[in-house]
């Protein structure tokens, strides 16, 4: 499957499972995007990302990903074939469980419910744990070298702890390797979003298509604004919005202190515009849900499809 066809398959699958960038319940049967967002290429920001398909207001809902589309440990509990094996290893951390679950779904190939999403994940990641010996020494700074070695040792320990489980659920031999564990761990550490019921987080198809862009001092996320009063007039003057409706929406979004999160009342992970966007402009990801590794200098490489 070539890149374009794979992307089209992902967006078509997204529409089928209820992912939508439209406030209306009826969406296109061939793509979950097109009303508010579109796929575009941004060479200076790492490549493919999400662009505004129209003018967007600050605080406007731009994407919904239903709970059933999120890959997390809750999904695992619905898998009758895998669950018994996992239950025999209660000492494993939630992140270890999610990592093994990701490998198990990859091992299913095209029979996995998440197959259109999984085949679009990156094949490689540039994070400390994947550095070879030459790259580690090139860091030069002693603390950086030490951090890299500790990261690798930690992952090796976690990988060895899960060997019994991975063999019990009959993972394919190539998925039992440390290299496969590195890939799955990097996927989890760099792409998961926060959910209130699981500290391991979740993988969010289409929702992690956002490309990294260094946060601006804009209206909705500015650290300076966080220390100011929340009255609407102050907020309007700071963000230079003239329309009352825009100011009210942005103020409401700012009071949540987030620009994305799972919302129980709609049963979906919801994403909001962090500021006003012009058509064609690249949208930034939710800043409150980036993993610590993803916020580093390798971010542009690790969050790509």
Backbone angles phi, psi at 25, to 5 degrees: -75, -25
Percent helix, strand, coil in the chain (nearest 5)?
45, 15, 40
| Residue numbers of the chain with a pLDDT score lower than 50 | 215, 217-244, 251, 253-257, 288-305
Distances (CA, A) of 249 to 81, 158, 256, 261: 46, 44, 11, 17
* Predicted local confidence at residue 184, as pLDDT: 96
* Predicted local confidence at residue 271, as pLDDT: 94
**Strand, coil or helix: what is 272?**
strand
pLDDT tens for each residue of 292-305: 343 332 323 333 34
**Domain residues of the chain, as ranges?**
73-202, 213-289
* Predicted local confidence at residue 51, as pLDDT: 94
Say which DSSP state 281 is in: P
Closest residue by Cα to residue 190 from 30, 35, 298: 298
* Predicted local confidence at residue 138, as pLDDT: 64
Q: Are 249 and 60 in contact (CB under 8 A)?
A: yes
* Predicted local confidence at residue 241, as pLDDT: 37
Q: How many residues belong to the chain?
A: 305
- Partnered with residue 162 across adjacent β-strands are none
Alpha helices per DSSP H over the chain: 3-17, 73-77, 83-87, 94-107, 115-118, 133-138, 142-161, 163-168, 178-191, 232-239, 244-255, 299-302
Render 158-218 in DSSP notation, one character per residue: HHHHTHHHHHHTT--GGGGSHHHHHHHHHHHHHH-EEETTEEEEEB-TTTT-PPP-PPPS-
Q: Are 122 and 304 in contact (CB under 8 A)?
A: yes
Closest residue by Cα to residue 188 from 172, 204, 207: 204
Say which DSSP state 99 is in: H
Q: Are 215 and 284 in contact (CB under 8 A)?
A: yes
Closest residue by Cα to residue 117 from 102, 130, 129: 102
Read off the pTM. 0.79
Torsion of CA 176, 131, 152, 133, to 10 degrees: 110
* Predicted local confidence at residue 129, as pLDDT: 63
């Amino acid at each position: 499957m070539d890149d374009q066809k794979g992307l089209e398959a992902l967006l078509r699958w997204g529409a089928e499972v209820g992912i939508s960038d439209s406030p209306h319940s009826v969406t296109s049967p061939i793509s979950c995007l097109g009303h508010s967002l579109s796929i575009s290429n941004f060479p200076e920001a790492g490549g493919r990302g999400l662009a505004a398909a129209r003018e967007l207001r600050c605080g406007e809902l731009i994407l919904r990903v239903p709970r059933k589309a999120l890959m997390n440990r809750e999904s695992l509990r619905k898998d009758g074939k895998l669950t018994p094996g996992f239950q025999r290893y209660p000492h494993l951390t939630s992140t270890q469980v999610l990592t093994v679950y990701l490998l198990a779904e990859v091992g299913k190939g095209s029979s996995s419910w998440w197959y259109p999403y999984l085949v679009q994940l990156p094949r490689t990641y540039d994070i400390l744990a994947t550095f070879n010996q030459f790259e580690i020494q090139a860091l030069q700074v002693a603390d950086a070298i030490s951090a890299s070695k500790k990261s690798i040792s930690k992952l090796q320990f976690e990988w060895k702890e899960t060997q019994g489980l991975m063999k019990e659920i009959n993972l394919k031999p190539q998925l039992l390797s440390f290299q496969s564990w590195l890939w799955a761990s990097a996927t989890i550490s760099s792409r998961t979003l926060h959910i209130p019921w699981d500290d391991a987080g979740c993988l969010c198809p289409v929702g992690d298509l956002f490309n990294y862009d260094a946060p601006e001092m804009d209206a909705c996320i500015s650290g300076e604004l966080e220390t100011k009063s929340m009255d609407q007039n102050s907020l309007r003057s700071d963000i230079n919005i003239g329309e009352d409706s825009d100011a009210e929406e942005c103020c409401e979004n700012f009071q949540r202190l987030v620009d994305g999160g799972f919302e129980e009342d709609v049963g979906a992970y919801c994403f909001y515009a962090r500021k006003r966007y012009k058509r064609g402009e690249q949208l930034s990801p939710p800043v409150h849900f980036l993993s610590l590794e993803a916020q580093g200098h390798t971010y542009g490489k690790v969050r790509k499809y």
